[in-house]
């Protein structure tokens, strides 16, 4: 899976000029860390999270641990536990993106 055009455009607007190779590298890292199926929106939310906080933060996160145990809703709630007041809106947007789209049926 690769980051969608929508997430690329959003990150360019919020972060200035973003190198495509940087975003592709983050996407590769996210793909290697996640062991469960994702929708494009879930993947994009994780790429946004990793772009903002770093792939190492994702790697050690409870968010990733819950996700890799198939706990999608628990993982979504973990977005809100990262960052301070200044990044609360961004984490809420990532959570909303993660939860949007077709429901996951196991």
Query: d(Cα 12, Cα 5) in Å, to the nearest integer?
Result: 10
28-73 pLDDT per residue, tens: 999 999 999 999 999 999 999 999 899 999 999 999 999 999 999 9
- Domain 5-99, CATH 1.10.530.40 — does that match? yes
- The pLDDT assigned to 106 comes to 46
| Of 74, 95, 97, residue with least CA distance to 4 | 97
Tell me the domain boundaries of the chain: 5-99
Confirm whether pTM is higher than 0.85: no
Exposure string of 35-71, with b = 16+ CB inside 10 Å and e = fewer, is eeebbebbbbbbbbbbbbbebeebeebebbebbeeee
- The pLDDT assigned to 86 comes to 78
Contact by Cβ (8 Å): 21, 8: no
| Mean pLDDT along residues 85-94 | 89
């Amino acid at each position: 899976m690769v980051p969608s055009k929508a997430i690329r455009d959003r990150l360019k607007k919020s972060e200035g000029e973003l190198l495509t190779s940087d975003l592709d590298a983050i996407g590769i890292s996210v793909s290697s860390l996640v062991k469960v199926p994702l929708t494009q929106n879930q993947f994009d939310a994780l790429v946004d999270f990793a772009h903002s906080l770093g792939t190492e933060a994702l790697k050690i996160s409870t968010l990733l641990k819950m996700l890799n145990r198939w706990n999608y809703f628990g993982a979504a709630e973990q977005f809100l536990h990262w960052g301070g007041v200044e990044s609360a809106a961004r984490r809420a947007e990532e959570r909303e993106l993660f939860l949007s789209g077709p429901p996951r049926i196991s």
